[in-house]
Amino acid sequence: MLRWSLLSLLLLLPQDPDWEKLRAQIDKISSDDAAERAEARKAIEKLDKDLLMRGFRAKEHRETAALALGVLGDEKAKDALVEMTKSKDAALRAAAFEALGGMKSAESVMAKALGDEPRVAFAAARALARTSNTSRLWSIYTTAAGEVRLDKLQTRTRALAAAVAADAVYPGFGANACVAALEDRDPTFVSAALLGLWQMETLEPLKQRTAPMLARLRNARTRKDLSDTDRERAGLLLLRSGLAVESDLAGMLTDPSALLRERAIKALTPKEPAKKDVGRWLSWLENDAIARDYSKLIESWIAKATGTDPGGDRTERLKVWKQWWTTHQETVFQDSVTKSIEAGVKWLRDNPARGLNSGQAGLVALCLYTMLKSGVGPNDEAVKPSLAWLLKQPLDGVYYASLAAMAFTEAATQWRKEKETDPDLGAKYRRRAVDAAAYLVCAQTNNGCWGYKPGDGWGDNSNAQFAILGLRAAQNGDAKIPENTWKRAAAYLSKSQMSDGGWGYTSEAAYGSMTAAGLCGLLIARSTEKNRAPGDLLADKDVARALKWLEENWTMEGHLYKNGGVGSGIGSAYYWLWSLERCCLVTGVKKIGTHDWYREGAEYIMALQEKTGLWTGSEGVADHCFALLFLKRAFVDVQTEGAKGKASKDVATEGGKGK
């Protein structure tokens, strides 16, 4: 009886862990996968500390037990863990740093390891993030950044790892540092940046840097000096971040990586096949590399979307489906644009705190202009209070004054049409547009450009574009703009055009959004000055050179330029397309070279729209507005008298069609 009682008692005592299984779990605390690291920690946190201490005292289990105790925050394991950080085994060093996280007395050891090889450096960075306070983390980063030598990989890796550590208190800081590093010429450093991004718990902050992130990851996907693993990781990051569009996914269907192919086809498989995608699917079937593995699946989507299953062999089926697409593609496209616009307008209505009621005068003005151009009248309760609020705001800054001139001119124009019951309201809108125009006239710099505010001794082509659009909109209303303002603006833009036909922000290399902005400004200023329709200026040397630049540098991320052979992104893709639309619509240009700029741009923009109706980019809600304005083909009228050609019209579209 006593024997059975003792046996029962022994069975109730905590049992030693399975040390082999525990070691496998321990190894995962430094995994490249953030979710796997978190799961390993949760499993270790359930272990009995006393049993681990018993193992810690036993030589054969000391290392494993020390790592587990470190995860549990037991300082008794610190010396053993610090010793492990000196190991020749990088995996063990990384695990030791993960276990040291939170131990203040080991902070200097962690900081020193930021210069280790990337996997270990990032593990040390995460340990620091769990250990140090805000000021200390920032001090570590600034010290590392100050010691960077461009010819020394270790110093740059140290600064990158320090930025990842600072991410704990400045969300997105480390991610942005890694994104910037992706354009580096050294493939080893780019590899470190890809690893840093991959190990992060979330890539959400990167959605605010959509254009640069896309460009740099796409570039990494094709860099021949990177390893297969790195190129695969760049593709997986595109998928994980949610930034990949259908063209990215389609490209992955022929990738050497089986994992990428598997995830790409999964992401591409629609819940409900839609008619709008039939043309794209047909083009995929013409690619033998895609058709070889996925023809049956893609054909099933087409059959369901079109409601046709023609039978016969593959050639006969494709012939029937191509004929169907030829008949329906324009209707399908217009319907898709209309639905996209409706969803975008609804998002602005449903999220006033982020736009119409944000309290940021410039953004409120842009949102108002967008809503007015999107068919929402000035009497609508979604915009009327915001117009009233904006009337009370002081004119402060060229961007805001330009947008105010555009918004209030549009509101006044529509007020006349809607016969607003307040007899003074339309007049108030018109007066405010005139005031904004006067502000812009005064803000013009001596050389004919515009800076951020009156009195700035310098200017840039982005402010110039907005100022010219605001002035032209106001002149379409009641404002009288001095002829010399237009003359000086046209002279400045002609002089600042670069030898290759493009424009930069100021004097740096030309890129798409600024070339489109420069061309738009030149067309409006010159046509107004000379009283000629913008369409009559297409043969002008400056205009022809700019259009040629846009043709030769065509891409949907057209504001990207090449820097030392490596893609570099700046600004917003939506701003680029909106700027492109300005100059194309004002002249009636339907194609840039062989490119149907509106169809390609609209399809690109619609592919980036989120399910909520929002477009997200580096410029926040402003990008949402630029996307809507592009789809609506809404632009500032240039009315001329006695012009040789047909004058432009100020139009907003329904589903991409002019009224």
In the predicted model, is pLDDT for residue 410 greater than 70?
Answer: yes
Give CA–CA dist 616/623, Å, rounded: 7
Q: Tell which residue, 641, 114, 24, 606, has the closest CA to residue 335.
A: 606
Give CA–CA dist 157/53, Å, rounded: 36
In the predicted model, is pLDDT for residue 444 greater than 90?
Answer: yes
pLDDT (mean) for 422-447: 90
In the predicted model, is pLDDT for residue 657 greater than 70?
Answer: no
Helix (H, G, I), strand (E, B) or coil at 566: strand
Residue 416's pLDDT band, with cuts at 50, 70 and 90, is low
Q: From the CA atom positions of the chain, what is the Rg in Å?
A: 30
Residue 646's pLDDT band, with cuts at 50, 70 and 90, is very low
Give CA–CA dist 504/625, Å, rounded: 23
Q: What is the dihedral of CA 472, 474, 480, 481, to 10 degrees?
A: -40
Residue 557's pLDDT band, with cuts at 50, 70 and 90, is low
pLDDT (mean) for 583-593: 90
Single-letter residue type at 76: K
Residues 263-311 pLDDT 10s: 999 999 999 999 989 998 999 999 999 999 999 999 999 999 999 988 8
Q: Tell which residue, 654, 582, 574, has the closest CA to residue 615.
A: 574
Residue 652's pLDDT band, with cuts at 50, 70 and 90, is very low
Q: What pLDDT was estimated at residue 25?
A: 86
Q: In this structure, what token pair is assigned to residue 528? A: 């107004």
Residue 9's pLDDT band, with cuts at 50, 70 and 90, is very low
Q: What pLDDT was estimated at residue 4?
A: 47
Residue 505's pLDDT band, with cuts at 50, 70 and 90, is confident
Q: What pLDDT was estimated at residue 14?
A: 52
Kindly give the pairing relationship between strand 595-596 and strand 566-568: unpaired
In the predicted model, is pLDDT for residue 655 greater than 50?
Answer: no
Q: Quick one: what percent of the chain has pLDDT higher than 90?
A: 58
Residues 37-62 pLDDT 10s: 999 999 999 888 888 898 888 888 89
Helix (H, G, I), strand (E, B) or coil at 117: coil
pLDDT (mean) for 116-127: 94
Helix (H, G, I), strand (E, B) or coil at 183: coil
CA angle, residues 361, 363, 364, in degrees to nearest 5: 65
CA angle, residues 519, 523, 528, in degrees to nearest 5: 155
In the predicted model, is pLDDT for residue 209 greater than 80?
Answer: no
In the predicted model, is pLDDT for residue 405 greater than 60?
Answer: yes
The residue to which tokens 């070339």 are assigned? 515
DSSP-assigned states of every residue in 299-332: HHHHHHHHT----S-HHHHHHHHHHHHHHHHHHH
Average pLDDT value over all residues in the chain:
86
In the predicted model, is pLDDT for residue 419 greater than 90?
Answer: no
pLDDT (mean) for 517-540: 90
Q: What pLDDT was estimated at residue 530?
A: 87
Single-letter residue type at 28: K
Residues 594-604 pLDDT 10s: 999 999 999 88
Q: Tell which residue, 188, 182, 61, has the closest CA to residue 119.
A: 188
Single-letter residue type at 538: L
Q: What pLDDT was estimated at residue 611?
A: 83
Give CA–CA dist 72/437, Å, rounded: 65
Least trusted range by pLDDT, from 4-13, 374-383, 596-605: 4-13
pLDDT (mean) for 346-375: 94
Give CA–CA dist 467/405, Å, rounded: 9
> Rounded to an integer, what is the distance from CA 346 to the centroid of its chain?
21
